[in-house]
């Protein structure tokens, strides 16, 4: 089964605090977004990549894609205010693709194996995510005091890619827009509709590069090979 990939890449990297889109930051001398694109470049099942970017940053992405010789077909979409808007704009470019994978530009350590199992699960169930069991104890805190300790055995840290039948993801996004629902991932929009979302194993290496310490971790992952 082949798929179209949407990569939301239009964030501002506020938590990174680098003063530019974190996807342009080098990891082992290569821009973060290029590491991510290289994985999908190798995946024959990936038919095309839709990259949702801020309009004024598109020339930078284009320059890197050329410089690092990424050959997969890449179509640009306009990034939105929120990640969800960026994915929605990407979805409008998806044409008739039957399956869509959505993957954060900021997760460069994704593997073909995880991509394949997310896709297979999306084909089976209509929607899928990858996730790992939470390692820390999680508590709900309000005004500086603990309100509740959440039972850890039921908690999973959710990653991308997330996979969907095109019609499922389109319906979920349209419905969310209609009522102004904003989710932090795409699967939550599908869950809202009461539809099944399958879960497969992600990886503790599949980090989302978010804060400056993640850059140190990312460098060490690459050094380790």
What residues line the site for ligand CTP (CB under 6 A)? 8-15, 22-23, 52, 79-83, 86, 104-106, 208, 210
- Tokens at 70, concatenated: 């990424």
We find the least distance from the C-beta atom of residue 89 to ligand CTP, in angstroms, to be: 9
Report d(CA 4, CA 99) in Å as an integer.
6
Q: Which entry of Mg ion, ligand CTP, none binds 176, CB below 5 to 8 A by partner kind?
A: none
Report d(CA 103, CA 113) in Å as an integer.
14
For 71-127, give the DSSP string. Answer: -S-EEEEE--SSHHHHHHHHHTT-TT-SEEEE--TT-TT--HHHHHHHHHHHHHHSE
Indicate the residue among 83 and 173 with the shorter CB distance to ligand CTP. Answer: 83
Indicate the residue among 12 and 67 with the shorter CB distance to Mg ion. Answer: 12
Which residue is nearest to Mg ion, using beta carbons?
11
Indicate the residue among 10 and 176 with the shorter CB distance to ligand CTP. Answer: 10
Q: Which entry of Mg ion, ligand CTP, none binds 198, CB below 5 to 8 A by partner kind?
A: none
For 161-185, give the DSSP string. Answer: EEEEEHHHHHHHHHHHHHHT---SS
Q: How many residues bind Mg ion (CB under 5 A)?
A: 1
CB 36 within 8 A of CB 111: no
Q: Which entry of Mg ion, ligand CTP, none binds 52, CB below 5 to 8 A by partner kind?
A: ligand CTP
Q: Which of residues 1-40 bind Mg ion (CB under 5 A)?
A: 11
Indicate the residue among 77 and 119 with the shorter CB distance to ligand CTP. Answer: 77
């Amino acid at each position: 089964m082949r798929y179209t990939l949407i990569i939301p890449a239009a964030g501002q990297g506020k938590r990174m605090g680098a003063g530019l889109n974190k996807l342009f930051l080098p990891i082992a001398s290569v821009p973060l977004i290029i590491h991510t694109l290289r994985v999908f470049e190798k995946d024959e099942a990936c038919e095309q990549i839709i990259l949702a970017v801020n309009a004024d940053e598109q020339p930078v992405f284009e320059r890197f894609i050329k410089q690092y010789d990424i050959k997969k077909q890449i179509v640009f979409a306009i990034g939105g205010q929120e990640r969800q808007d960026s994915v929605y704009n990407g979805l409008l470019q998806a044409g008739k693709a039957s399956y869509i994978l959505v993957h954060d530009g900021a997760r460069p350590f994704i593997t073909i194996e995880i991509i394949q199992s997310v896709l297979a699960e999306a084909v089976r169930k209509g929607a899928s995510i990858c996730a790992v069991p939470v390692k820390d104890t999680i508590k709900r805190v309000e005004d500086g005091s603990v309100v509740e300790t959440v039972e850890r055995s039921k908690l999973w840290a959710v990653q991308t890619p997330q996979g969907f039948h095109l019609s499922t993801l389109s319906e979920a996004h349209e419905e969310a827009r209609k009522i102004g629902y904003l989710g932090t991932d795409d699967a939550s929009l599908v869950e809202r509709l009461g539809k099944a979302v399958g879960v497969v194993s992600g990886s503790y290496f599949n980090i989302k590069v978010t804060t400056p310490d993640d850059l140190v971790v990312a460098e060490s992952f690459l050094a380790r090979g």
